[in-house]
């Protein structure tokens, strides 16, 4: 096992996704750095800063170079990044004439940060795809169960009837906002970093900004108004975005766990042979996916402060601040990816027990409809008196373990205003769903609009 279970062959599927781990592999990181070096050479060749034949040789060598990982590791240990060792290897592969023009005017952090942004672009595509899949699954469940009554709960106790479609919509609603945030985030975060040794690009004379602009265009990245080697807000914003996404997933997973308790048993994760089982308790169907969503959420939230702390860097390039980002951001992306995968599987295959939902609605023998009775009675007696009468009836029903409807009918102060037919209607959960079905419709519509808008902006 590795130090981080998300990188383990055994545990990796629980804490992340293979594609996200592969994206941040050593080879991919080096390939991204080579892509930056190649793009830099191409634009500098076009601008006449380096010879065009050198630019072509560097770009060609960057495509075929397979860096020696041991050499790169030694270089990283000596200088903090493998960029210098990689530039040397690229120069040797490009030939003696082109060697002198590799990495022209750039500094290590320019290449490292811009390469990171290239990886982040792919990572955010993964996140967006999996968020869309989860959102679509929740939207389908919200539509399917828009009218299915169940108990709504506050402070872990039954409060009022809702619908399961309403509950799915509440899980779905923040995902639409997250798609909007992601659109904005990509505009700010996916920006080229090119500032030279101290951010002034002095080594390129008057052409520094031209190179930065051309490099951004070559790589399909935004051009910031200033280099961001000393301003790390972009990465902190991305990390906190991941924290928000995982927080929303944690709400979903937590509710799934609570609804799956033996005493509630209204909802469970999709089951396959051996899934969620216990080594000693054959009857168990543990919510394994939900549990690991919560674990991922806690991990992402614990790592976010590293990115926030990196904002307070010293002078034009910090010692220790930006280096700590590498400890957090790839892990946060991997954990979020794993949580989204788990969430999608749950949302697509969740097992809904409609009969148990109805049984639980009837568990308090009508007490869950006490507000409905009170509001109807208030039209006759005023709210204060209605609350007093219904509260007394609830107390009596609880103490004697009698149905609320029976207690209400026997109270002459209530019965004179509400006959048996009215009481029966008021104590039917399906008659007091309020805006729940329509809210489910609105949230699904909002999700579809957000998804459509995101696709157009991509």
CATH 1.10.40.30 correct for 367-426: yes
Q: What share of the chain has pLDDT > 90, as a percent?
A: 79
Whether 322 and 378 have beta carbons less than 8 Å apart is answered as no
Q: What is the pLDDT of residues 429-446, one digit of tens each?
A: 999 999 999 999 999 999
- SS3 (DSSP) at 153: strand
Distances (CA, A) of 56 to 31, 92, 101, 104: 17, 14, 11, 14
Q: How many angstroms separate the CA atoms of 388 and 59, rounded?
A: 82
What are the DSSP E strand ranges found in 86-215? 149-154, 157-163
| CATH number corresponding to 16-106 | 1.10.275.10
Q: How many angstroms separate the CA atoms of 313 and 320, rounded?
A: 8
Instruction: Report which secondary-structure segment, H or E, holds 76.
Output: helix 69-79
Q: What is the pLDDT of residues 324-363, one digit of tens each?
A: 999 999 999 999 999 999 999 999 999 999 999 999 999 9
Q: How many angstroms separate the CA atoms of 146 and 433, rounded?
A: 10
What is the per-residue burial (b if ≥16 Cβ within 10 Å, else e) of 164-195?
bbbbbbbbbbbbbebbebbbebbeebbbbbbb
Q: How many angstroms separate the CA atoms of 363 and 147, rounded?
A: 20
Residue 274 has pLDDT above 90, yes or no: no
Residues 6 or more apart whose CB falls under 8 angstroms from that of 444 comprise 139, 142, 143, 169, 172
CA-based torsion, 440, 446, 448, 451: positive or negative:
negative
Residue 144 has pLDDT above 90, yes or no: yes
Residue 54 has pLDDT above 80, yes or no: yes
Q: Where are the domains of the chain?
A: 16-106, 109-191+228-351+435-458, 367-426
Residue 163 has pLDDT above 90, yes or no: yes
Q: How many angstroms separate the CA atoms of 207 and 422, rounded?
A: 82
Whether 256 and 300 have beta carbons less than 8 Å apart is answered as no
Q: How many angstroms separate the CA atoms of 271 and 276, rounded?
A: 8
Is residue 398 packed enough to be buried (19+ CB in 10 Å), middle (13-18) or exposed (0-12)? Answer: middle
Q: What is the pLDDT of residues 289-300, one digit of tens each?
A: 999 999 999 999
Q: How many CA atoms lie less than 13 Å away from 272 in the CB half-sphere?
A: 5
Question: Topology of domain 109-191+228-351+435-458, per CATH?
Answer: Fumarase C; Chain A, domain 2 (1.20.200)
Catalytic center residues: 278, 317
Mean pLDDT value across the chain: 93
Whether 127 and 333 have beta carbons less than 8 Å apart is answered as yes
pTM comes to 0.93
Whether 343 and 253 have beta carbons less than 8 Å apart is answered as yes
Residue 400 binned pLDDT confidence (cut-offs 50, 70, 90):
confident
Residue 282 binned pLDDT confidence (cut-offs 50, 70, 90):
low
| Residue 230 DSSP class | S
16-106 and 109-191+228-351+435-458 agree in CATH topology = no
Q: What is the pLDDT of residues 248-266, one digit of tens each?
A: 999 999 999 999 999 999 9
User: Which residue carries 């009675």 as its tokens?
Assistant: 377
Residues 6 or more apart whose CB falls under 8 angstroms from that of 101 comprise 41, 44, 50, 51, 54, 55, 58
Q: How many angstroms separate the CA atoms of 263 and 277, rounded?
A: 18
Max CA separation in the chain (angstroms): 103
Residue 281 has pLDDT above 60, yes or no: no
At 205 the pLDDT is: 94
What is the DSSP pairing of strand 157-163 with strand 149-154?
antiparallel
Residue 29 has pLDDT above 70, yes or no: yes
């Amino acid at each position: 096992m590795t130090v981080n279970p998300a990188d383990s062959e055994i545990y990796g599927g629980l804490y992340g996704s293979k594609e996200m781990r592969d994206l941040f592999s050593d080879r991919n990181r080096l390939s991204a750095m080579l892509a930056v070096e190649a793009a830099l050479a191409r634009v500098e060749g076009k601008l006449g800063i380096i010879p065009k034949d050198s630019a072509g040789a560097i770009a060609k060598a960057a495509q075929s170079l397979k860096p020696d990982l041991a050499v790169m590791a030694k270089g990283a240990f000596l200088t903090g990044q493998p960029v210098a060792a990689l530039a040397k290897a690229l120069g040797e592969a490009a030939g003696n004439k082109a060697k002198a023009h590799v990495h022209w005017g750039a500094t290590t952090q320019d290449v490292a940060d811009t390469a990171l942004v290239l990886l982040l672009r792919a990572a955010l595509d993964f996140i967006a795809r999996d968020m869309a899949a989860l959102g679509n699954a929740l939207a389908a469940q919200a539509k399917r169960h828009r009218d299915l009554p169940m108990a709504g709960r506050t402070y872990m106790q039954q409060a009022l009837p809702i619908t399961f479609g309403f509950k799915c919509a509440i899980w779905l609603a923040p995902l639409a906002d997250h798609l909007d945030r992601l659109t904005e985030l990509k505009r700010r975060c996916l920006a080229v970093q090119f500032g030279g040794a101290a951010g002034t690009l002095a080594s390129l004379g008057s052409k520094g900004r031209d190179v930065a602009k051309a490099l951004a265009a070559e790589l399909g990245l935004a051009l910031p108004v200033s280099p961001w080697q000393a301003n790390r807000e972009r990465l902190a914003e991305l990390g906190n975005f991941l924290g928000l996404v995982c927080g929303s997933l944690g709400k979903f997973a937590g509710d799934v766990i609570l609804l799956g308790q033996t005493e509630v048993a209204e909802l469970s994760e999709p089951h396959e042979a051996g899934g969620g089982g216990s080594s000693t308790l054959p009857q168990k169907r543990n919510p394994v996916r939900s549990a690991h969503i919560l674990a991922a959420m806690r991990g992402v939230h614990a790592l976010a402060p590293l990115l926030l702390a990196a904002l307070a860097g010293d002078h034009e390039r910090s010692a220790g601040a930006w280096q700590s980002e590498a400890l957090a951001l790839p892990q946060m992306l991997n954990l979020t990816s794993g949580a989204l995968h788990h969430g999608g599987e749950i949302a697509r295959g969740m097992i809904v027990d409609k009969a148990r939902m109805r049984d639980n609605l009837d568990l308090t023998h009508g007490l869950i409809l006490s507000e409905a009775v009170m509001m109807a009675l208030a039209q006759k007696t005023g709210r204060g008196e209605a609350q007093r009468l219904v509260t007394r009836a609830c107390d009596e029903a609880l103490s004697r373990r009698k149905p609320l409807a029976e207690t209400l009918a026997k109270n002459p102060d209530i019965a004179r205003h509400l006959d048996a037919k009215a009481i029966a209607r008021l104590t039917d959960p399906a008659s007091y769903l309020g805006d729940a079905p329509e809210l489910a419709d609105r949230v699904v519509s909002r999700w579809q609009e957000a998804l459509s808008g995101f696709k157009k902006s991509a």
